[in-house]
Amino acid sequence: MSRLLSVRGALAPRPVHGNVWATAVRVGLSVALVLGALYAAGHVELIPYAAMGCFTCLYARDETYARRRVLLLVVGAALTLSVALGALTQVLVGHTLAAVVVASLVAGGGKYLSDALALGAPAGLMFVFAVGVAAYNPLDAAQVPLVVATTAGAGAVCWLLAQAGALAWAAAPERLATARALTARAEDVLTGGHSELARARACAELSELARRVRRERRPQAVLSRGELRTFSGWVQQMRSHHRQVPSVWGALGGAWRRPSPTPVSVVRIVLACLVAGAGAWMLGMGHGYWAAVSAGSVLQAANVTTTWHRTLQRAGGTVVGMVLAGALFQADYSVLGVIALVVVLQMGAELVVALNYSYGLVFVTPLTLALSNLAQAGGGAQELAGERLWATVLGALVGLAVCALVPNRSLAQYLEQARAECEAALELVAGGGGAHERRRLGRSVVALSRALDLAAGEPGSEGDRIAGARRVLERARFPAGARVHAGV
């Protein structure tokens, strides 16, 4: 258990290569346009619901524009549905426990959607936050259509801005992915078996190529027309033989098939949100959904170890965020001032959250208090700070406890299946397989790496099985003759 609950690396920054400032600026612009338009129209009461729709721009930051179009459409629809469910719960039932139940079910659905479609950060967390805001703020039945339309409209604005880059930099996501792959390969070269000089030279060349691919607006032409035709022919041949990416419906169905770890993850998050939300209600917290959001946040992680790290990150980031909030809210802000503060804090969170989740929470904590202050003008941000802290701690601890008490027994079979597939693909490549077999090996390496990350952080994981899978992964990553030599 001490291995699973290690604190090593929990608060350390991760290296991030590219697309940080661009995403932060796009997010800030989206929030400023939407909230500023509502302020100018005199509908300040709709700003919290518009902010929920603006969460659309937090997703699919590194995806190609084609995939981004689909994913953000799904995310925007899911956020709108979350707000609609929360608003209807408030109008039709109006009881805190009903809001907790609905938020818990939305948390489970968000986790399922996130795993199935590989949404990436912030995963299903924002759907819980959206349903909580709508369910806890007083509403009349006549306001529900306007609230839902506001969320949908904000999501549509974010969708349009997320596609705007395609007009000037249509291949930017592909270039970013290529640059990151080259950077990762350069790091792998450093562990190779060649001389120190050869490794350093190959690493430097790959790193420089990655820099040029990512940053140069017009990369230098290195191909003659004949070479370009040859490479274009190869590209078309690869596309014609490449496995088709499953549709949204196919991905949703695949996430539920055994031995997928998703079903147990969904059960964990629903149970944790129920317990945390009900506990906050019994303790008299006015924003009990914060506890449910906190529980859902730590359980977006894959296993006990990463959930433990998320708990530490959430607690540490929230405490520092409270200090920042205390300094920021010493002054009295006008509505326009609060909107400006929300934009700045959202951009700050986007700049640092990729480095470490706790860094992002330093900005998200005062951001949440600012939005709550707009939603309930009678309650000051200073008064909400203490409640936010205790709700966060409660939810994080409940999430960690549920993760430890509800084992994910399907992970052993999931790991074994991924290992067997990787070994089979490796044998085909070693036997002289072509491009199709190498692509299959690449996919199996990614799948085995993910399965290892999941299984290694769960209690009861067998050491021999983990070690065997690691050996297969190492062989697959560096098959015979595949190492990079000097002069790449």
Two tokens, residue 445: 């390496």
User: What does the pLDDT read at residue 219?
Assistant: 53
- Cβ atoms of residues 272 and 297 within 8 Å: no
Please identify which residue in the block is written with the tokens 């701690």: 393
Two tokens, residue 111: 């986790």
Please identify which residue in the block is written with the tokens 């100018």: 40
Note down pLDDT in tens along the chain; length 488 residues: 555 566 666 788 887 777 788 889 999 999 999 999 999 999 998 999 999 999 999 998 888 888 899 999 999 999 999 999 999 999 998 888 899 999 999 999 999 999 888 888 888 889 998 998 899 888 899 999 999 999 999 999 999 999 988 887 777 787 777 777 777 766 666 665 555 655 566 666 556 656 655 555 555 555 567 766 776 776 666 666 555 566 777 777 777 777 788 888 899 999 999 999 999 999 888 777 888 888 888 888 767 778 888 888 888 888 899 899 888 888 888 889 999 999 999 999 999 988 888 899 999 989 988 887 776 655 555 667 777 788 888 998 998 898 888 888 888 888 888 888 888 888 888 877 777 777 788 888 888 888 887 777 776 666 777 888 888 888 887 665 444 443 33
Chain-centroid distance, C-alpha 397: 21
- Cβ atoms of residues 86 and 148 within 8 Å: no
Q: In 3-state terms, what secondary structure has residue 242?
A: coil
Two tokens, residue 202: 């190959």
Phi then psi for 144, rounded to 5 degrees?
A: -60, -50
User: What does the pLDDT read at residue 278?
Assistant: 92
- Among residues 377, 393, 374, the alpha carbon closest in space to that of 290 is found at 393
Two tokens, residue 459: 């209690």
- Angle (deg, nearest 10), helices 47-54 and 357-375: 150
User: What does the pLDDT read at residue 472?
Assistant: 85
Q: In 3-state terms, what secondary structure has residue 398?
A: helix
User: What does the pLDDT read at residue 485?
Assistant: 41
- Cβ atoms of residues 104 and 268 within 8 Å: no
User: What does the pLDDT read at residue 276?
Assistant: 93
Instruction: Please give the Cα distance from 449 to 439 (Å, whole number).
Output: 16
- Cβ atoms of residues 122 and 314 within 8 Å: no
* Residue-by-residue DSSP string for 355-420: T-HHHHHHHHHHHHHHHHHHH-TTS-HHHHHHHHHHHHHHHHHHHHHHHHHS--THHHHHHHHHHH
- Among residues 60, 45, 85, 77, the alpha carbon closest in space to that of 289 is found at 85
User: What does the pLDDT read at residue 488?
Assistant: 39
- Angle (deg, nearest 10), helices 96-117 and 289-298: 20
Q: In 3-state terms, what secondary structure has residue 345?
A: helix
Residue 309: CB atoms within 10 Å:
23
Instruction: Please give the Cα distance from 409 to 431 (Å, whole number).
Output: 35
Q: Is the bond preceding residue 219 a cis peptide, omega within 30 degrees?
A: no
Instruction: Please give the Cα distance from 331 to 366 (Å, whole number).
Output: 13
- CA geometry: angle 403, 409, 415, nearest 5 deg: 110
User: What does the pLDDT read at residue 217?
Assistant: 54
Global pTM reads 0.83
